Structure 1
């Protein structure tokens, strides 16, 4: 392994899971954050790891923790509010970068802005949002080749709503996901569009998702130039999906989400351990006449456990050396077969039969 792996936000919920996954996979990461006491406790628990101080509110402290060829893994969100310090530190240092951002505007910033000037690899949204959808979409397109002009991806958790299992960090990021104009990939360009809903048939039942902006809009067309349309749908909200699609985008929605987010986070904490979350992802490819060519289904366990596992896997691959630079999707960064193996290791794999 060539570079160090630095986990920024290591004492947060997802950061702690990622640090533990790295240690389980045989890596001794550097733990970074602003709470020295909590860092010390976690570092001791994981075998005496190195710790460093870094605070997104003080960008110079984040820049100080990374050097060229390091791998910076950041889970510090909401990313639209706190994510730029780590992103800019990695670009400036020439360090490889992975984050867990699910916020569409932040992901778009990386692909359309920061990726152009980066001399290192930038891998945004490298978690349950949106690695398995990239994998499912790429597998579907690989199966049917140039006949496909459209692909729809859907993310679903458990039997319906994910609210009962959301972490506080996810709820904090919800305004960045739902309170902004959505985008899609249409006729060769990424463009804004009002949210829509559609049903997917999965495991013998119909499940509804609401359209969102995601990394697949940038990554799948880059690998498959014949694509003319990419749509991504989120099925977190169960019976409330239609309501989520009709919410006006903007500050008012953000305020509503923030008001109710604290209560939902408390509910999630009270329900911790009272049920097992499962993941299901589907990608459907269509031809120019709108006929379904193929579907790929993936399934697995808890999305947070998957995020930790795939972050650790991706960081280890990046630390061994990256040839591609700029903003990358997971397939372009690591290859399709390698990514499928990595996702299976992290807990999400293809459904056969």
Structure 2
């Protein structure tokens, strides 16, 4: 490999899963974070890994983690509050970068502000949000070719209680996901329309999802220049979806979380592996007249396990050498067939039949 892989936030829930996934894939990462005791325990458990202290509140400690050609993986959220230190460190060092962000504002800043300055490859939102949607959208567009001018993507969860399935970190990031102004891609520009609800047919029934800002708005048009519209929707909240979409964004997070059940924070923080979630992603491609051309459905298991697996896979690819620079989508970074294979390895694959 050309460089080391450093996991910033390795002692957190997603960081620990990612470290284990890298070990399973034959890589010994450097474990970094501010909880040195937890890092030491994890490093010993995983066979004596190197550790390093870093705290997003002190950006120079994050900058000291990497040099050119290293790979910096960060799982430290909420990213709108703690994510900029790692992004800036990677850009300054010329290190490749992956994060697990799902917060629209942060994702947009990564593409529009940091990407133009990077001499390395930046892969923002390289987790359950939003790698599968990039894959599903690209598969749909690849199938129908230049006839497609619009693609709609939807993310759904199933298999158990949302409250039992969310980690504490995801719960902490929920206000950043829901309280931020959304955006979409239309007629060649990223815009901020009013939130919308769209119904998708999933496994024989209609499921509502609300519009959200996502990496797909930047990445799919870059790979498919004929696209004129990209819409991404989140279908996590069932009946609460339509309520949240009508609220001012500043109130949406607390309203939806409250609707989903009192004590969600307490339950999430006690997750400790309890609760089983499954993943379902759909992408629908349309022509200029609004006619549906094709749909692609993906399915898989727990989103956290997928995130750990795909981040580990992406970090290995980046450490082997990247020629593309700037903020990239997963298709542009690795190619469609390679990405599909990586997602299948991580636990999400195409539904056939």
Output the TM-score relative to the length of structure 2: 0.96
**2:81 equivalent to 1:76:** no
**2:140 equivalent to 1:129:** no
> Aligned partners of 1:244, 1:126: CA distance in 2, in Å?
26
> Aligned partners of 1:114, 1:262: CA distance in 2, in Å?
38
Which residue matches 1:318?
Answer: 318
User: Given that residues 33 and 54 in structure 1 are in contact (C-alpha distance below 8 angstroms), is that contact kept between their aligned partners in structure 2?
Assistant: yes
User: Given that residues 167 and 265 in structure 1 are in contact (C-alpha distance below 8 angstroms), is that contact kept between their aligned partners in structure 2?
Assistant: no
Unaligned runs of 5+ in 1: none
Distance 1:158 1:182, change over 3 A: same
Q: 1:1-353, aligned counterparts within 5 Å?
A: 1-158=1-158, 162-250=162-250, 252-253=251-252, 263-270=263-270, 275-353=275-353
Distance 1:253 1:293, change over 3 A: closer
Question: What is the CA distance between 1:263 and its match in structure 2?
Answer: 3.2
Output the TM-score relative to the length of structure 1: 0.96
Distance 1:274 1:81, change over 3 A: closer
> Aligned partners of 1:121, 1:297: CA distance in 2, in Å?
28
Distance 1:138 1:101, change over 3 A: same
**1:26 match: secondary structure:** coil
> Aligned partners of 2:38, 2:160: CA distance in 1, in Å?
35
- Counting matched residue pairs gives 352
Distance 1:161 1:294, change over 3 A: farther
Question: What is the CA distance between 1:328 and its match in structure 2?
Answer: 0.1
> Aligned partners of 1:66, 1:222: CA distance in 2, in Å?
28
> Aligned partners of 2:174, 2:181: CA distance in 1, in Å?
13
User: Given that residues 284 and 293 in structure 2 are in contact (C-alpha distance below 8 angstroms), is that contact kept between their aligned partners in structure 1?
Assistant: yes
User: Given that residues 160 and 235 in structure 1 are in contact (C-alpha distance below 8 angstroms), is that contact kept between their aligned partners in structure 2?
Assistant: no
User: Given that residues 240 and 256 in structure 2 are in contact (C-alpha distance below 8 angstroms), is that contact kept between their aligned partners in structure 1?
Assistant: no
Unaligned runs of 5+ in 2: none
> Aligned partners of 2:235, 2:256: CA distance in 1, in Å?
17
> Aligned partners of 1:31, 1:70: CA distance in 2, in Å?
13
User: Given that residues 210 and 234 in structure 1 are in contact (C-alpha distance below 8 angstroms), is that contact kept between their aligned partners in structure 2?
Assistant: yes
